[in-house]
């Protein structure tokens, strides 16, 4: 994970990642010396601990291709979703459709991403998130002239009215209710390009 991406990760998560990486690094050195000394059983146990540490990182999606790495073009999407499983599944599906996906786990991470990167073509914004919700995030995005051309699609289990937004407010380009029909979303993305 490049440093600029690590900066967007909460400090507590950064520390957990670094602890796992330190454990893996020490285990790899130990494994190398154990194999050089033909300590097969010890090397197998060490190898298993390496696999366990890697699986912990993998469970949290930390070994997947970098989520925030993207080529900025008409097919770049910033996906803002607090549910890690939904975020990973939707990002994977959209990548298969040929989109470049950057991900953020909450509104603050999305705003940080936007301040550090070129503007994406689309933002898919979950409206119900802890820390900074979708409405607050949207308000900040729409205040910035650099982002006036970004197409923003809301994804929510509640309506625009329930989120305090009128359908004709102009802040949201299209509203998608959960459970999300990804085919409808992809069709809307294609029409908006």
Instruction: Centre a 10 Å sphere on the Cβ of residue 128 and count the other Cβ atoms it contains.
Output: 16
Q: What is the pTM of this model?
A: 0.62
**Dihedral sign, Cα of residue 115, residue 133, residue 63, residue 67:** negative
> At residue 73, does pLDDT exceed 60?
no
Confidence at residue 28, expressed as pLDDT on a 0 to 100 scale: 84
What's the whole-number mean pLDDT along residues 14-41?
Answer: 82
Domain range annotation of the chain: 3-59, 76-192
> At residue 6, does pLDDT exceed 90?
no
From CA 101, how far away is CA 94, in angstroms rounded? 7
Confidence at residue 169, expressed as pLDDT on a 0 to 100 scale: 61
> At residue 104, does pLDDT exceed 60?
yes
Round the average pLDDT of the chain to a whole number and report it.
82
CATH number of 76-192: 3.40.50.2300
42-52 per-position pLDDT tens digit: 988 888 888 88
From CA 56, how far away is CA 58, in angstroms rounded? 5
pLDDT tier for residue 54 given thresholds of 50, 70 and 90: confident
Confidence at residue 4, expressed as pLDDT on a 0 to 100 scale: 46
> At residue 155, does pLDDT exceed 90?
yes
């Amino acid at each position: 994970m490049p440093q600029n991406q690590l900066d967007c990760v909460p400090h507590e998560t950064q520390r957990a990642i670094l602890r796992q990486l330190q454990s893996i690094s020490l285990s790899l050195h130990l494994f190398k010396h154990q194999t050089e000394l033909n300590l097969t059983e010890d090397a197998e146990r060490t190898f298993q601990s390496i696999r366990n540490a890697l699986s912990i990182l993998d469970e949290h999606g930390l070994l997947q291709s970098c989520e925030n790495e993207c080529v900025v073009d008409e097919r770049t999407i910033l996906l803002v979703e607090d549910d890690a499983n939904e975020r990973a599944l939707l990002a994977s599906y959209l990548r298969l459709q040929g989109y470049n996906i950057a991900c953020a786990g909450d509104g603050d991470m999305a705003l940080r991403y936007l301040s550090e990167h070129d503007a994406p073509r689309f933002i898919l914004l979950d409206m119900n998130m802890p820390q900074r919700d979708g409405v607050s995030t949207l308000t900040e995005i729409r205040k910035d002239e650099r982002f006036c051309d970004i197409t923003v699609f809301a994804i929510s289990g509640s309506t625009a009215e329930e989120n305090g937004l009128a359908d004709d407010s102009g802040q949201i380009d299209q509203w998608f209710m959960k459970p999300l029909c990804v085919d409808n979303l992809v069709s809307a993305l294609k029409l908006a390009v």
